[in-house]
Structures are given as C-alpha cells and as structure tokens.
A and B are shown apart, each in its own frame.
Chain A
Amino acid sequence: MRRLLILLPPLAWLLLLVAAPLLIIGLIAFAEAGPGVPPFIPPFGWAGGPVWRGSTESIGTLLGETYYLEAFLRSLLTAFVTAALCLLLAYPMALGIAGARPSWRLPLLLLVLLPFWAGFLPRLGAWIGLLRDGGWANGVLGLAGIGPLRLLYSNLALYLGMVHAYLPFAVLPLATALLRRDRSLEEAAADLGATPFTVFRSVTLPLSLPAAASAFLLVFIPAAGEFVIPELLGPPEAQLVGRVLWGEFFQNRDWPLAAALALAMLVLLLPPILLFQRLGRRG
C-alpha cells in the first residue's frame, strides 16, 4: 500500500503527460482530415451508441508514398552523422577538461555551456551571416583567391549548425564520466608497461563507453526531430521528418497525417534507443 502511494505521483505524471497525449495523438492519426475546428472528424461518433468512423488513410499515405520514407531515412542519417561528429569532437574536449588542473575545469565547462546563454536563433543567424555569399567566410577565402563558394544552404552549413547546437549535449556526460573515472586503473596499466596509447585503448576508452553511448543518444534523439536548423541552413532538399511534419500540420492542415508521422517517428526511434541503452549497460 505504501509502495503504491510512493509510486502514485510518477504514475500520475506518466498517465497525464505521456500516456494521455500519446493516446490523443493515436486517435487523431486514425481520424479523417476535413475542414472544421479542429480540422478533422473525430474517429468516434455518437449515433444512438458509439460509432467508429475512423480511417486508416493517413497510415496508408505514410506507407504508400516514398516521400515520407525518404524523409525518415534522411532524418536518421542526418541524426547519425551529427551524433557521430559530436562524439568525435566532444571526446577529446571532455578528455582535456577531465585532465585539466582542478581550478581550470569549471571555467572550461562553462565555456562549453556559454553558447546556451545566447539564444538559439541569434546563433543560427550568426552562422547565416558568416556563410552567406558576401559573408565573412567567403571574404577570408576571397583574400586567398578562392571562391566565392556556396556555403549557405548546403549540407556543410547544415552539419555545422547541427554540431554547433548539439555539441554541449555530448561534452557534458563524457566530461562527467571521465572526471569520475578511477585513475589508479590507468596507473596500474602504465606500471605494467602499457604505452599511453594502449592505456587509452584498453582502459580509458572502455571505461567511458557507457557515457559515450548516452552522449550519442542525447544528440541523436533531438537531432532526428530537428527542423529549425535544416530549414535555416540546409539545402532545400533536406526534407527531414521534423520539417515534413511541420508542413503537414501547418501548411496542409492535415492533423491526422501529422499525428501518424509523429507516431511513426516514435516507433522508428525506439530500436536505436534500446540498442544504445543495452550497449551502455554492457559497457
């Protein structure tokens, strides 16, 4: 009984803020789009008794048109590349922070976090200013006799923006884990004759794998649904799921299809999440 009482708040939270909205999204996904306020016909009606008048048209559209499948694949690929790049950049940064003198650690961590204090959109605006045809990057390249290159609205700009926005998410868990690691294990390996590289490969790296997995996930999950950065920096063909969903909801006012897309995204993201969680635990 007491256990139930303790569990009640988190259960209520889950029911109210996770299960209920999901159920509503699920119901909308099976509704039929049509003019009205809100712009769909609810899948349940009342005509002397409850009547089911839902439609699987949205699910059919989703599965039937390659446009959506391509958007999903592109999103997963973009998220994967972003997360991998973030991990590659964040690891040496985290190692450096963990290895720095204690009085330096906090300032270094703050430097990683500092960009968060400036708004997200002004930072993207700064990238646009840097990368545009007459921008600073092309100005510098021009001095070297190169260009002007098309930097803005390209995959390069897209990944610059994505990595810039998500890098702190990868640095923080890695830095925390590397700070807490047991240095005596590395000292023991070194005492037994391992070279610094072997120490890193056979001790430090395996110890930090769970943190690396969670760093990867922390970037991968939000990056898969990102739609602002591809829209502002990426090429027009960068039709990621976030953008496609936005378009269905706002431009086509097709709430059922948007809801179906959201559910499909959830289903598609679950396997990688479970996989990485397992990886993290095993490490």
Chain B
Amino acid sequence: MRHFALIAALLLAPALAQAQTVLNVYNWTDYIDPDVVQRFQQETGIRIRYDVYDSLETLEGKLSAGRSGYDLVVPTSEPSFARLVRAGALRPLDRARIPNWRNLDTGLMERAGRADPGNAHGAIYLWGTVGLGLRLDRIRAIAPDLALDGLDLLLKPENARRLAGCGLAVMDSATDVLPSVLRWLGRDPDSADAGDLRAAEAALLAIRPQLRGIPGSGALLDMLATGEICVALAYSGDVIQAAARAREAGRGVEIGYVAPAAGPHLFFDMLAIPADAPNPDAAHAFIDFLLRPEVIAAVSSHVRYPNAVPASRPLIAAPVREDSNVYPPDAVLAHGFVPGTPGPQAERLRSRLWSRFRAGR
C-alpha cells in the first residue's frame, strides 16, 4: 500500500506540482505530533504525505537503492546519518532558508557534527541516550541490593546470573551496543583495535547464556512493556514508551529507564534531505517550521524525546520536561559520548563479532 502510494505520488507529481506542492516525509513511527503536521499544511498550503519506518535498516535500504521519492528523512546520527553523508546520499542544507537554525543548541550540534563536519547536512530533530530498561517491581523483589545506576547490572556476569530468571535482553544493533560495552570496559568506544573488540566480545559472550533474546528495537519495546524481560540494553525513548504502555495496561508491570551514570552513548535523529529529493524547497520550509520553539515543544511533549532547541524547554509539558530520563541531568550529559564512524574495515570486524555473539559462540 505504502509502495503504491509512493508510485502514485511519483506519477502524479508533475500534475500536482501545479495545483499543490507535496512534501514527502519519511520518519520513525510514533515520532511526531499530528497537530504539528496539520498546522504546517494550513500555514503553507504545502500538503504533507507522511510515511513511517520502524528501523534504520528499512530507511537505509530504501535510500541506498536511490530515487526514494522522499523529501525529508530522519536518520539517526550514528550509524545511518554518518553513512548517508559519506555515501553522498544527502543534500547540503541551505541555511539561508532555515532562519530558525539559530535556535539550535550549539553544544549539541557540535556533538552531532562528529558525523557531519560543519553540520552541513542535518539539524537535530530529537535525541536520546542508550541505557537500561528495567522492570523495577521484579528487580526489587529478586535483588533489592543491586545498584540501579549503570551497565554493571547487565554486564557483570554475577549480576546477569542473578537476574537471568526474569529475563535479560540486548537490542540487536552492533553499532548501538558495542560503543557502550567498550566504554564500560574502559576502552575507546570507537576502537577498531582487535584486542579491544575481542575484550568486548568476551564481555558479551560472558552474559550470552543468560540472554532471553537479542530482538530488534520494536520487538524489544514489546517484550519490556509486557513484562517478558527485566533488564534490556535499549534506546531511552523506547524504554520510556514501553513504560507508558505498561502503565496503560495496568498489569502491575513497572518499567524504569537508567542511563549509565558513567556516561551514556548519545544519539541524534537528524532532519535531512535526500540528494535526489523531488521537492527540497518544501523540505527546507518544514525544517525551519519544526525548529520553532513552540512547534518542537509540542513534538517533545507528545513523543517524550528531548529536542535541541533550548528556548522550547519551558513550553514542553511539565511531566516530560521534568523527567530526568527524558532530559538527563547535566552531569550525565557531560560524561556522555557520541560514537564516531568506524571505517569499512572496522565495521566489518564489528559486524562479524556481532554475528558470533548472536549465534552464541
């Protein structure tokens, strides 16, 4: 159906261009406030055709094939955004057409700039951390003495063995798990050194027998929300959404999120325009619209992810604004790290390591 809509869009594009401009947006699922889309359409007369993906693999798969037909995409800074920049699949942004660029937090943009020198290809939409999703009610019952503040909870084999009975999981993403494991080992999160990677593999294999699953991010959210697992290494936003879902279900499952106090992996979801976008003008207009403080505040309130527009902070709904899981404390943020982009050779080493970890040998 989605493909059909896309084909129809491509076929009809010239005819519609005269009547009404169409902006094809491709974003993560559940990642915008629908009212924001409505408001943009009313203000500008540009019609938004909104399409969603639930994994970076889907997004990259479509963009890698070329001529995707999308005008605006939201790849995560590491690994997808960085790879798309390297592959020349994104169009440099024209800042003259994005006056609200000045609203962006320079510190965060500088960190996102690791993937994109000079921030030439993207503006931060929302961001988050990698940490632990915890089923607090069960963990308190099984191991009340464990400190719930870092990756020790999952990665120390003795802790993993104690908690194995109620379910452990690691999200299926070499790029988003290995940096945190390397950091936990006290090594460089970007390391391509064979010795460092062997140490990370050994650490992961040590807890491998205790793992209930290595699911994709969507499945992991589900496992957490239904209480199938107790500890999961996952994206902050996924855990916060799982916690909300568990509360709604009202079955006594209590989910909490913990970013490693020693310094979490930070990720940024970037607003970017594909190099072959049919309508880059409308995409620039939409980026500018999203960077208005009151607009991005509405998005953050709705999806419970922080944004990079400081002026929006007072406008965000209080429960979200004051949630230290959504906006980590400054001290945690200061220790946070943004992984770099491993070269193709290092990436291959890492993906082989991950395959062996998945297979459990």
Residues of A participating in the B interface, judged by any CB pair closer than 8 Å: 33-39, 65, 67, 70, 132-134, 152-153, 231-232, 236-237, 239, 244, 247, 249-253, 255
Contacts and interface: CB of A to CB of B under 8 A. Distances in A.
Nearest to A132: B228
A185 B63 CA distance: 62
B283 to A, nearest CB: 18
A267 B65 CA distance: 26
Interface string B329-357: 00000000000000010011001100110
22 contacts: A35-B83, A35-B86, A35-B88, A36-B87, A37-B63, A37-B64, A37-B87, A37-B88, A37-B89, A38-B65, A39-B87, A67-B359, A134-B228, A152-B228, A236-B360, A239-B358, A250-B57, A250-B60, A251-B174, A251-B351, A253-B61, A255-B64
Contacts, number: 72
A70 B360 CA distance: 12
Given A236-B213, A252-B351, A253-B60, 8 more contacts: A35-B344, A37-B89, A39-B87, A67-B352, A133-B167, A232-B219, A237-B359, A250-B60
Contacts of B60: 250, 253
Contacts of A249: 61
A248 B57 CA distance: 11
A67 B355 contact: yes
Contacts of B86: 35
Interface string B29-63: 00000000000000000000000000101101101
Residue among B58, B64, B356 with most chain A CB within 10 A: B64
B211 A253 contact: no
Given A133-B228, A253-B60, A67 B344 contact: no
Nearest to B55: A250
Contact of A38 (B64, B88, B212, B216): B64
Contacts of A252: 347-348, 351
A258 B117 CA distance: 31
Contact of A250 (B61, B87, B228, B347): B61
Contacts of A38: 64-66
A266 to B, nearest CB: 22
B56 to A, nearest CB: 9
A132 B355 contact: no
Interface pairs A-B: 10 shortest CB-CB: A250-B57, A35-B87, A37-B66, A236-B214, A237-B360, A252-B351, A35-B86, A39-B64, A239-B359, A36-B87
Nearest to B87: A35
Residue among A35, A36, A237 with most chain B CB within 10 A: A35
B21 interface: no
Contacts of B89: 37
B87 A236 contact: no
A67 B226 CA distance: 33
A126 to B, nearest CB: 14
Interface string B80-94: 000100111100000
A237 B358 contact: yes
B352 A65 contact: yes
B227 interface: yes
Given A33-B344, A67-B359, A247-B355, A132 B65 contact: no
Contacts of B360: 236-237
Contacts of A247: 351, 355
Interface in B137-173: 167, 173
Contacts of B212: 153
A42 B65 CA distance: 13
